[in-house]
A and B are shown apart, each in its own frame.
Chain A
Amino acid sequence: MQTFLRNPHLRRFGISFLVMELVALMTGPPGSTQTPTAGFRGSFFEASSFYGLFRTQRWVVFLALAVVVFAIWSGWLTQGSVIRTTTSKALTYPRAVTQRKPVRWSLLGVALIVALLLPRIVDDAFWHSAMTEQIGVFVLLATGLNVVVGFAGLLDLGYVAFYAIGAYTTAWITGSLPTPAPFHGHFDPFVAIPVAIVIVMVAGILLGAPTLRLRGDYLAIVTLGFGEIVTIFANNLYGITGGSQGSGPIPHPVLHVGPLHYVWSLKPVPYYYLLLVFLVIFLIAFSLLEHSRIGRAWTAIREDEVAAESVGINPLKYKVMAFAIGASTAGFAGVVTASQSNNVFPSSFTLQSSINILVLVIFGGMGSIFGVVVGAIIIQVAYSYLLHTPPQGYQSADLYMYLGALLVLMMIFRPSGLIPSRRRQREMVLSKAGEGHMDEVLTGDTP
């Protein structure tokens, strides 16, 4: 019996089988108090179709999936190195091409044109609002968080707080909160953009200056706490924020600058263009920043803080700067969300959303601007698609299960993200070889 169990093929099959059974249970129907075993029975015996091929019961489907997993696993073990080299070749080849300047610029130009024409290409009310509220805003948030997490190597778990402060500032400036607006005026949301950015930056510096002396885990906990404090304040300061009822109606922005006249309305597409304009500005600014001395200083601090100090770099100053820049991006996103959705509710700024934004950054590739944008688009499109046309048996809470599984797989097979930053990837390889330091975002320990 013992030797029988040690058979590697059998063990692999056993593990595949158990994992798939677990998946079957997790994706199965929910149970109830009256029939506690219903969920269990349903998970295995409910009728199901094998991708529409033939009708059968669920357990057959998952047994077939277990066989597939087992086959892939065995194939990986015997042919793994071949698969790895071919995939890495296939993945690096387009990369080598896109490194060439003309190719890169024309690709970016095409991407911009597609982005400009997108509302016409996808002419659908749901997708128009998804494009703005789900994709546009989150791409912007991920790009901002990338400065903090990717460039400076600081794990920020309370990023959504800055987003919230931006949104509430808009509500305040436009006179939609119980607190009167400054000078008792009712300003346009456009006025809120600079005000929100400044207030959020100040918040970033106020939080950053004392806490960025902490490293790794400690910083993560402090930022987590900050995120919670802001949400709880927004929830409980009825007299100031309107509590869980949210703010009053926030007006739409109106633009009257020289020959430009435009009045935004409930329609999402004009907001999409507003976001796009600012996103392009932020992307250009951040990629210039990455290759400037500030970007190099961030890399230096991330790799070896002691050595960075020995050449005269003040780590605290640069970290606070990264924090403030990241925060200002979130502040701007807050202004757009607030004026587009007409209301601000504390429930939209939870820890969950902080983590979601972080997932976008990790998935796309920390420190890689292009990767983060692509990663954020992929995940947010998938999320919106599942919301729009949920497959049979899909519940919206399931999303996080799939996201989690995706992250686990990413960490195993492509830990530096979908489109990794070259510096980050090198750090990863070096630290695996026992050389150099990987920052705490990845390792979780303090050097």
Chain B
Amino acid sequence: MEEIQYIGEHLLPGQIGRLAILISFVTSILATVSYFLATQRRDTDEYEGWRRIARSAFVLHGISIFVVIGTIFYVMIQQYFEYYYAYSHVSEDLPFKYIASAFWEGQEGSFLLWMFWHIILGFILMRTAKEWEAPVMAVLSTIQLFISSMIQGLHIGFGDWVYKLGSNPLLLLRDTMDIPIFANADYLSLVTGTGLNPLLQNYWMTIHPPTLFLGFASTAIPFCYAIAGLWTGQHKAWLKPVLPWALFSGGILGTGILMGGAWAYEALSFGGYWAWDPVENMSLVPWLFLLAGIHTNLIAKITGHSIKSSYLFYLLTFVFIVYSTFLTRSGVLGDTSVHAFTEMGLENQLLVFLLFFVFLSIGSYLWGSRDVPVPEREEATGSKEFWMFIGSLVFLFSAALITISSSLPVYNKIVELFDPTYEGSVIKDPVEHYNKYQLWIGIFIGLFSGLSQYLRFRESNFSKHGKKFLLHLGIATVISGVLTFLASIWIDARAWQYKLLLFSGIFTVITNLDYLISFTRANLKTAASSVSHIGFGLMIVGILASGLNKKWISNNEFAQQGLIKGFSQEQYKKNVVLIKGEPLFMNGYEVTYVKDSIWENYRQFQVNYKQKDEAGNITEEFDLYPNVLYERKENKIAAVNPSTQHYWDRDIFTHIATLPLSETDKEYAKTLEDSLNYVTHYMNVGDTLRQKDYILILEEMKEGATHKDYDSQPNDLSYGARFVVYPKKINARFEVQPVMALRKTLLYTFSESIPKLGMKIKFPNEALDELFVPESELGYESFTMEKGQTVDYQDYKIRFDNFNVEAEHSAYEREPGDVVVGAEMTIFDQQGVEVGKAAPLYLIRGNQPFNFKDELFDLGLHFRFVKINPNSEEVEILIGRKSAEKRRVPIAIANDVPRSDWIVLEAILFPGINFVWTGTIMMMVGLFMGMFARRGRRE
């Protein structure tokens, strides 16, 4: 086949990028091997040499990954759609601020983001890890080796068997698709990008993935230290340097997860922050393991107990990060998750990635933990460490339960392999299922973390401090009990389990607060733990308040009565129809859909909320602005964005559940418009038209009219007919102004409607000849007049009254240097009765004379002011008229029009949601405080 010479392709960035991808893979192998050898020969002379090679390899690896990222960004910013990645993630109309989001929308981009953070962390380790550098970096390089294999796109073949290793982000579009368009050498001029999913076009998509991936990447460091500890047999020495890393990772990963929840709550229409979706769960599980690890790490550092548990928890943390990657990216979750990623054929490779680290962990643990020192003396039940350890076990349980339930699809897949007839099983009510178990986890964590704060490290003689302990504990219990009682008046916690959870949340807040004040004495390390645990308690209170008291405001009983008889699931009915301008009372709020406005493909709705006291005075009022994003060309909704009113103690969340079909489907809207029965009436200014339900008066014909859908341009000609409408049955008055506009040869008609009356009004096409009369048909006659003079024109007498230098005209915009003058004229009929006034305009701009005509629409009279004699003050006026007959404007009116001025709204009240945010943020702050406290203590 003949090679086609394609036009306009930019091949250089691709070549550079693909080379860098390959280099990154090779250097990661080199770094792994040399760090491995450096570790193995750490006590010999070779150590320095191997470390130097390893360092260079890793730095080179880092640079090549940066180059890959740079090239991808370059082709995306330049919109080189010859590259598949640019084609499938960018489009011409994608705002620049979303380029980064588009980059990590794709699987390859998110792998690169993950590697980017590993490299940054790796560089830090090279500078700070000292004797731990070689083993730790050996493991980190191995991880990089696996991830960089995901972006290789290499075809490895043995005979007929070909395996594709990874997916290369810098492939050309024509190499990934086989379609006829590539027979055209100039195919690029026909191709444009598909762009970023509109749902992802918001700032959360810019900040959430980098944070979460830094969280993912940071869990690798405790893992690397754990392997390093097992490998080198220094079971105690690693406990200290790993701790700040683990705390940092806990804080960042937690923040990433938290941002995901906040995104779901703020910007998506899920109506909540956590849904126990498998993807969410599997990001939480590693975090729970990490928290367990941090606790056992602290114990191990102080007492020498729990070293094995610390190894285990840190190993599990990273293994579960990889497991979660496998679940979300392999497509195995299928229809059980709303976050389902598309399959990319990387399943096997991801499985190898997972299995390698599972076996590495098991192997290292079994091999390395044989000689872990175990102290002779057992931990006393009255010591802090004992209860911290029990707390870690609670974390383990929590993580294990979530993992087992979330992994059900994996279990189904495995059984299906052996038994194809096997029908997969599912959890019936996931939210209820998870809540049921995690409730107890919450209770235990709350109680233990409250209780153990009063205990002391390494306590052997409990009775010595028993009195003080019991005193504080007793007071805290009483205060918590009272507060729980008060809170349960506010929170609808009927079941005793909820009351217990509420108590344990409040209990840990009180005890930790007490501990913070009475015992910490400005010690950052201990304060950090108090802050975290107070945060946990507040979060529990918030979860209970917002979860149990979550209430649908949009639940209008009157509107829904008796629609489904005898059905007990009324609470699932969450939406109401709101008609524009008609307030609806629902659950204490008067809600009104005020108006909507469209800006390009973005449509915003204003929804007003009012609360009134018994006297009818407004006690509270606010507006919310939920919006929808239409797809670029089609008139389809691509994304719905909620809007939320925040108070310190509650949130009111609102989003558009549905719009009328005519507003979301252009085809349907057109069919609907065609089915309307328009009747044409001929009217002049001042005429009245009687219809079945209303009376219509044509008040005025306006030149240069405006309309909400009409963007006027300088040389447009336009007319609007201003009507006043009086309904017969109700006491109201409406004004409508349909518009017809002429832009060169294009004619636009803008209709108006009164949904309440079911009427729609517009200019029919035949109005064109009547509105825009060509100048040639007017038969202008010239009159030279002086001030006060009257002339006869057809049936009228026309008097030139005066000059006006401040005259205005709808088509005239004043510029500096203009010399402008208007001629004020009065028109009388034969009986001498005044019938109108006109003011044509004469203008000199840059030595050129211009004039703007004036038209008396109802009489059909046109005036032009064409000349002025400055000496005699005489003017020349042209007067024209199309015909002597009375003017009649055609107007088309349709009645019985289906209403389309409504929205379907979902409104939810979330009480106490700020406790959730404050609590979770405090947990992260506590972790970071712990990290900083320990970072400074490193020798």
A and B together in one complex: no
Chain A residues engaging chain B, CB cutoff 8 angstroms: none
